[in-house]
Amino acid sequence: MNPISIHTIASAVEGDLKGNAGNGDRLISYLSIDSRTLVDPEGSLFFALVGERHNGHQFIHELYQQGVRSFVVSELPDDFEALKEASFIFVKDSLKALQQLAASVRDEFQFPLVAITGSNGKTMVKEWLFDLLQHQLRIVRSPKSYNSQVGVPLSVWNMAGAMDLGIVEAGISKPGEMVRLATIIRPEIGLFTNIGDAHQENFRSMAEKVEEKLRLFEGARLLVCRRDQDLVYQLALRKFEHSSTRIVSWSTTGLAADLAFALQRDGQSTKIRLKWEEAVYEVEIPFSDEASIENACHCLALICANNWINHSVLELFAGLQSVAMRLELKQGVSGCTLINDFYNSDINSLEIALQFLNQQTSSTGQSKTVILSDIKQSGFAPHRLYTEVNRLLQLNKVHRMIGVGKAIGAHRAVFQLPAQFFETTHDFIQDFQTGKFRNEVILIKGAREFRFEEVASVLQKKYHQTQLEINLNILVDNLNAFKAIVKPETKIMVMVKAFSYGSGTTEIARALEFQKVDYLAVAVADEGIELRQAGIESPIVVMNPEEHSFDAMIEYRLEPNIYSRTVFHQFNLAARSAAVVQYPVHIKLETGMNRLGFSDVDELQQVAEQIQAEEILRVQSVFSHLAGTDEPLHDAFTWKQYERFVKLAEVVTSRQKHKVIRHLLNSAGIERFPEFQLDMVRLGIGLYGVAVTKLGVRPITHWTSTISQVKMIGKTETVGYGRMGRANEQKKIAVVPVGYADGYDRRFSNGGANMWVNGACVPVIGNVCMDMTMIDVTDVDVKEGDLVELMGEHIHLKELAERANTIPYEILTGISQRVKRVYSQE
């Protein structure tokens, strides 16, 4: 974005300029809504947004200390005049001001915008359109899935330069939201992907949701939609019947449409035939699943409708790739951590990737390396572009850069940090030596044509092909789903014990600390020490403290669960020896779980009084655990537990001079007993995607492997140990390199569970082995190397638990640490 002065921005958002008015000429290049993701403090304008559980105004002083000098606020700090270098734009609604600013920037565009909305496929269609059209048009697009009330204005702000076309996606979750996005985007061209159940709970009907989404295209000259989605098509016809908006429809089912597509699947690919303006065309895509076919047809229809169709663009369909729309965090060689973002390279997404790089290094202090390709279609002169890249790298304290490509190499003189340049990816790999990379975080960011997945391959720590992907965006979505039903003043403790329910302790804890949860809880001291050594600073409670670890716990500032008089005396002695004062502890009460905890009132009273009198320790919280919150048949017992807890907690809290946090609810309790929230809740399995109500949380894990071998067996042959898998007819068997040593339960043997491969659900055949499992793929087209889902979108966690006659906890925590964890974030 071309820099804009504070004074101009104040006028655009109809705000009053307060504070240091002399800074009205300060130029703004970046907008920020999160105090944790600053790229350029001096050149950033911070919008203090206000939500149900957050208020950006509370971070103004922290941001000022970080160098931010420009703010948009709806509440002026009481001491704003003391912040002598700061400028404040005072408005009634900071979110509305952000949207107004984006709308004013949109006024300056000399190129048309394509807007994409719908329930699914928006980001994929946007990226494929870019891939297909970038060779004939200069295109700028919104980064990743920036499609919300905040994401859209940030995207539009960053769209600038001499372009031929912009592509923006827009998503909504409530009535009334789309009109605000439409005011910003004002598209000339629209594409409606499809309609589904996402966010349906906020709309009275599917028709209401479609009508809301269609408001995006008011004033557009063209709208492309699928004729087979009859509700979308009919409502679009009705809405635009008397307008100048032209509707182009397409169909694969033979319905009367402007474009009729004929499909021919052939294994893993599909041919699409079409007729447009008396000419017949055919493309082939390397996919055969319904979603990819639909996305490709959306692209084809929009290309035809705009007369961009030619043989060159048609040939590019064969090279379409599944786009990795998330940043991936993986373990690399020699203690390195890799951030893979090699599906695109532009200045806007570089800013986002650098934010994620900072997030990963904020607590570790590791050095930062960026491997960067040529940046395509920036809209700016190359010298100006790479000068800006150098500035961003320096502002974010990147220690070295490796440039790949002719353009970035030609401008090596502008880079003022240690740098090395290669003309091609092949040149870099030929020069690669493991010893050049050690204990650092490496951001790999490149345009797709540079095939930086090959760079990631040489830098990645080698495991076998089974991996567990943990989606950090879903983790945050789940956290926010629970926050929405917890009172703003209620604190949240998150359980990260047992390797964060199998998801990886350090990475999950780092993401939660970034989200500013109030407490983390681990099972044993070693788990907490690992977090401290990784740089985690959040308060950490140890639920099962042991005497031998007390000195280490004090050294690493870990707070114990005091569940008996014995543990109290032991820890009190250790704290006295360490000469600490007011060391925080947490008192566990027994209310009916009959596990750990005080139940004797006299003992509890004596401990509470001694703690207050000596002041060696400090009671930070008092808590108990509910035994049956997930089952209605135990509700009466849950009420009795609550009543007993309140009485026992009073024994402790009444004997302390300070306020003591009380907490009782686990994940299921948060959902079903909001009246028991008290001062804090403890979020466990719910965060990882298991709910007892229709809360809308999703599993954060996706467990996959690949096929090692495919073979045919005769009808008299058997499969696996004990010859338990029997073929009554000729069968095709695939071997998957995962077994019970990886946590794939032996109870899944002989049809006890299914896997998902190439669009089909297939059963396990024979006994699960230590390191391998066989599946029956007789009716499925598969080959060696094909991806297999063990748990995820198609094979649900709850389904696996039910088949093993167990609970989701056991499945998640049973996944071996030898299974590679990969962390992704948009």
DSSP 759: T
Cα separation, 723 vs 716, in Å, equals 11
- Show the tokens assigned to 608: 């509470």
| Domain boundaries of the chain, sorted by first residue | 4-94, 109-319, 327-462, 470-688, 701-825
Cα separation, 753 vs 745, in Å, equals 9
Q: Given the structure tokens 């409708």, which residue do they identify?
A: 305
Q: Rounded to the nearest 5°, which phi and psi values hold at 555?
A: -60, -40
Check whether 595 is labelled as a binding-site residue.
Answer: yes
Q: For residues 63 and 46, is the Cβ–Cβ distance under 8 A?
A: yes
Q: Rounded to the nearest 5°, which phi and psi values hold at 804?
A: -90, 5
pLDDT value at residue 743 = 93
pLDDT value at residue 347 = 76
Cα separation, 270 vs 177, in Å, equals 37
pLDDT value at residue 432 = 87
> How many CB atoms are closer than 10 A to CB 219?
13
pLDDT value at residue 349 = 79
What is the DSSP code string of 540-572?
EEESS--GGGHHHHHHTTEEEEE-SHHHHHHHH
At 364 the three-state DSSP class reads coil
Rg of the chain (C-alpha set): 29
pLDDT value at residue 215 = 97
Q: Rounded to the nearest 5°, which phi and psi values hold at 471?
A: -90, 110
Cross-strand partners of 443: 339, 370
Nearest 5 degrees, angle CA 336-CA 338-CA 340?
170
CATH number belonging to domain 327-462: 3.90.190.20
pLDDT value at residue 651 = 96
Cα separation, 812 vs 505, in Å, equals 13
Q: Given the structure tokens 């404040």, which residue do they identify?
A: 88
CATH number belonging to domain 470-688: 3.20.20.10
Question: pLDDT of 607-630, one tens digit each?
Answer: 999 999 999 999 999 999 999 998
Q: Which of 527, 530, 526, 475 is nearest to 363 (CA)?
A: 530
What is the DSSP code string of 138-171?
-EEE--TT--STTHHHHHHHT--SS-SEEEEE--
Cross-strand partners of 695: none
Residue type, 212: E
Q: What size, in residues, is the chain?
A: 826
**Known catalytic membership, residue 809:** no
pLDDT value at residue 446 = 87
Strand pairing category for 754-757 and 787-791: antiparallel
Question: pLDDT of 148-174, one tens digit each?
Answer: 899 999 999 988 778 899 999 999 988
Question: pLDDT of 803-817, one tens digit each?
Answer: 999 998 899 989 988
Catalytic residue chosen out of the listed positions 406, 640, 715, 721: 721
**Known catalytic membership, residue 721:** yes
Residue/partner pairs of 573-577 with CB below 8 Å, 24 or more apart: 574/547, 574/550, 575/616, 575/617, 576/616, 577/551
Percent of the chain with pLDDT over 70: 97
Q: For residues 226 and 291, is the Cβ–Cβ distance under 8 A?
A: no
Distance set, CA 232 to CA 40, 221, 242 (Å): 43, 18, 17
Cα separation, 223 vs 216, in Å, equals 10
CATH number belonging to domain 109-319: 3.40.1190.10
Nearest 5 degrees, angle CA 374-CA 378-CA 383?
70
Nearest 5 degrees, angle CA 200-CA 201-CA 204?
80
- 4-94 to CATH, choices 3.90.45.10, 3.30.460.20, 3.40.50.300, 3.40.1390.10: 3.40.1390.10
- Show the tokens assigned to 560: 């114990």
Q: What are the average pLDDT values for consecutive 10-residue runs of the chain, which has 826 residues?
A: 87 91 79 83 93 85 92 91 91 96 93 94 92 92 84 90 91 92 97 84 89 96 96 96 95 94 89 91 90 94 95 92 72 88 75 84 86 82 91 92 95 95 93 87 89 87 78 91 92 86 80 92 93 91 95 95 96 94 96 93 95 96 94 94 96 95 96 95 93 88 94 89 86 94 94 94 94 94 92 91 91 88 81
Catalytic residue chosen out of the listed positions 445, 483, 497, 731: 497
Distance set, CA 532 to CA 226, 363, 399, 505, 579 (Å): 53, 9, 24, 11, 21
Q: Name the CATH superfamily for 701-825.
A: Lyase, Ornithine Decarboxylase; Chain A, domain 1 (2.40.37.10)
